[in-house]
Amino acid sequence: MKGPRRIVIELGTVGLALVAAFTPTAPSAVERWFSTGFYPALQRHVTPLTNLLPFAVLDVLVVAGCAAALTVLIRAVQEARRTRGMWPVLRALGDLAAAAASVYLVFLVLWGLNYRRVPMTERLIVDPGAPASQAVADLGVEAATQLNTLHDEAHRVGWSGAPREDETFRRAFKAAQRALSEAPPATPGRLKRTLLGPYFRWTSVDGMINPFGLEVLANPDLLPFERPFVAAHEWSHLAGYADEAEASFVGWLTCMRADVPARYSGWLFLYWQVSEEVDDDGRARLAKALGAGPRRDIEASVQRLRRGQLPWLRTAGWRVYDRYLKANRVEKGVRSYGAVVTLIVRARFEPGWMPVRRTAAAVQDPGP
């Protein structure tokens, strides 16, 4: 049986996790002490280490965690059969609950608190309200125009198989971060393959961050012209931008500061995103504005998604992710992805897609 001390520790761990999950936190405090304080220093030490590993740390953690949980449950069931009582199973469930609470607390300390930082809309000068439909449509037309202009040169130059090795792209990522924060710039991560690759394929996931190893994982089927934006998006998560729209915003700014192939990748992402925000007539107008080259690339992306997708698993996977985001105080859940369009349309920019930041005082104490 469990000793009293062990029971107290487990109950305390679960209680602490519940307090951490539901207690309100001041975004300005998280921004100052975690997102631009402790976390950047941590990331700049951890990511270079995981970059050295040829495998995904998350794979090891998932396999080890599942094996440990399964072992605990099997032993509990065996003991329950031997003693003809349910106490061993209940004890095992308590152990697993305490373990899950510990994992959650580690998640918060290593990366998860970034969900609670000051929102991008309060760190930049952003016009209030939803963007006008015409402004969104105009952005889509601009994306189509840029794709038509950049297509031939982007394909002539080609795309690097390893974005982290592209010095121009790395400098662009650093410049994008400098435009948004005084925090030390994050170290880019290598796009790693993972045992979760088939799941990414089946659910149409392009990539993810491992918050426990501060590494980035990618769908193995990504096309060359998709990789720069996916890399920049996931690097933005490494930089502490947990919100999906904010990570896409930083990723897009990164692509805009890089070479022609990367800019093409960024505009291709934005074309996709705007297409999801407009109605059927708007999508038809955007498609009509595309040249033959970009249209072939988009069709190639569509075919990639269709080949690997399992619709029922995709629906279930994104439903789970929606709940995960909401549990981490992202009220819109997966709908937050589309908010990047609002950011780009409503944010104030100087020439060169340089976002205009609020003063430091306004960020620490944002107004209504």
pLDDT of residue 332: 64
pLDDT of residue 152: 97
H or E element, residue 272: helix 260-277
pLDDT of residue 115: 96
Could you tell me the sign of the dihedral formed by the alpha carbons of 311, 229, 176, 160, in that order? positive
pLDDT of residue 184: 94
Backbone phi and psi for residue 209, each to the nearest 5 degrees, phi listed first: -100, 140
- List the pLDDT tens digit at each of the 368 positions of the chain: 566 788 888 889 999 999 999 999 999 999 999 999 999 999 999 999 999 999 999 999 999 999 999 999 999 899 888 888 888 888 889 999 999 999 999 999 999 999 999 999 999 999 987 788 889 999 999 999 999 999 999 999 999 889 999 999 999 999 999 999 989 999 999 999 999 999 999 999 999 999 999 999 999 999 999 999 999 999 999 999 999 999 999 999 999 999 999 999 999 999 999 998 888 888 899 999 999 999 999 999 999 988 888 887 777 876 776 777 677 766 666 565 678 999 999 999 999 999 999 874 454 444 44
Question: In this predicted model, what pLDDT tens digit does every residue of 100-144 receive, in sequence order?
Answer: 999 999 999 999 999 999 999 999 999 987 788 889 999 999 999
pLDDT of residue 323: 75
Contact 163, 191 (CB under 8 A): yes
pLDDT of residue 75: 92
Helix count and strand count (H, E) for the chain: 17, 5
pTM (two decimals) = 0.92
Count the Cβ atoms, other than its own, within 10 Å of residue 5.
Answer: 8
Question: In this predicted model, what pLDDT tens digit does every residue of 69-108 receive, in sequence order?
Answer: 999 999 989 988 888 888 888 888 999 999 999 999 999 9
Alpha-carbon distance of 110 to 34, in angstroms, equals 10
pLDDT of residue 109: 98
Alpha-carbon distance of 30 to 12, in angstroms, equals 24
- Edge-first strand order for the sheet with 215-218 is 191-192, 215-218, 207-210
pLDDT of residue 338: 76
Contact 225, 154 (CB under 8 A): yes
